[in-house]
Amino acid sequence: MAERFASVADVVDRLREVDYLSDEAIAGVVYLADRLEKPVLVEGPAGVGKTELAKAIALVTDARLIRLQCYEGLDESKALYEWNYKKQLLRIQVDRDHDAKWEEVEADIFSEPFLLTRPLLEAIRSEEPVVLLIDEVDRVEVETEALLLEVLSDFQVSIPELGTIAGTQRPIVVLTSNNTRELSEALKRRCLYLHVDYPDVDRETEIVRIRVPEIDAELAEQVARVVRSIRGLELKKAPSISETIDWARTLLYLGKTEVDATTIDETLHVLLKYQHDIAKARKELGAEAPNPR
């Protein structure tokens, strides 16, 4: 299989081209995932860019992004495949009217035209380059992880009526987790591990300036410093990077040129989504807004 990235530096440069700022640790794992053909398990708090990493990899490799959004109760029929029961019933009725033998009917209704592919099987069968995103894998039950093991180990799936379907090409697979529960050892063994945390002030300032190019350097740094301070509080939900970007845009739309106590008080609802968090941030940060230089 053709290698997607020439080096770690190549990963950094190409991700930057699509406005994803990668450090050496992130780029190194992506590079190794390509060379070793292993999935990447990306853990970290919500909103640090785990999902965006998969999207960025798909963009720079000109690959199709296939996403399996995990949730409690996810099962095989939603992750892998299921049979089109309504279409099968219609065919059974037609064959019954023509006095077809059951063996013939059964072979007919459990064939390709009646198969409904879901994200995992769709990724396996794709002949074009794919980045498979298994998002928030920690939301599924431990038992459901077993559905992933065959796919992650051999990139194939066994369908009793059709046999084993093996992938024709090996995609980059990214699994994300918000650490809401411990994942199984069997799953972790199959993956390279990457922890992504909130960026430091300098990196978040750079992210803001790239994603909001009309903002000046000083205001971008003030935004990043205030967000950093807010994340240091004990909150129900800390601001994500996307919410930092939204806040920076909000300040520009409102004609703000600096971040002061009044500005924070008026716009905290853009960063925080719980009233208790807003009240706490107002109390703690109202007098701590960065002074303009």
Q: Read off the pLDDT of residues 154-204 as tens digits, 9 standing for 90 and up.
A: 888 888 888 888 888 889 999 999 988 889 999 999 999 999 999 999 999
pLDDT digits (tens, 9 = 90+) for 275-286: 999 999 998 886
Instruction: Tell me if 165 is assigned to some domain.
Output: yes
Which amino acid, one-letter code, is at 126?
Answer: S
Average pLDDT over residues 213-238: 95
Residues 64 and 93 both lie in one domain: no
* Domain span at 174: 8-72+120-195
Per-residue pLDDT band for 88 (boundaries 50, 70, 90) equals confident
**Co-location of 108 and 128 in the same domain:** no
Instruction: Give yes or no: residues 136 and 189 share one domain.
Output: yes
Residues 230 and 92 in one domain: no
Instruction: Retrieve residue 102's tokens.
Output: 């059951």
Question: How much is the CA Rg of the chain, to the nearest whole Å?
Answer: 24
Do 125 and 222 share a domain, yes or no? no
Q: What is the pLDDT, as a whole number, of residue 97?
A: 62
Are 99 and 139 in the same domain? no
Cβ neighbour number for residue 229 with a 10 Å cutoff: 17
What mean pLDDT comes out for the span 94-99? Answer: 68
Q: Report the distance separating Cα 86 and Cα 40, nearest Å.
A: 38
Domain count, the chain: 3
Q: Are residues 262 and 144 in the same domain?
A: no
* Helices 24-36 & 50-60 angle (0-180, nearest 10): 60
pLDDT in tens, 246-283: 999 999 999 999 999 999 999 999 999 999 999 999 98
Residues 278 and 183 in one domain: no
Give the end of a domain, one of 145, 169, 195. Answer: 195
Of 154, 174, 195, which residue is a domain's last? Answer: 195
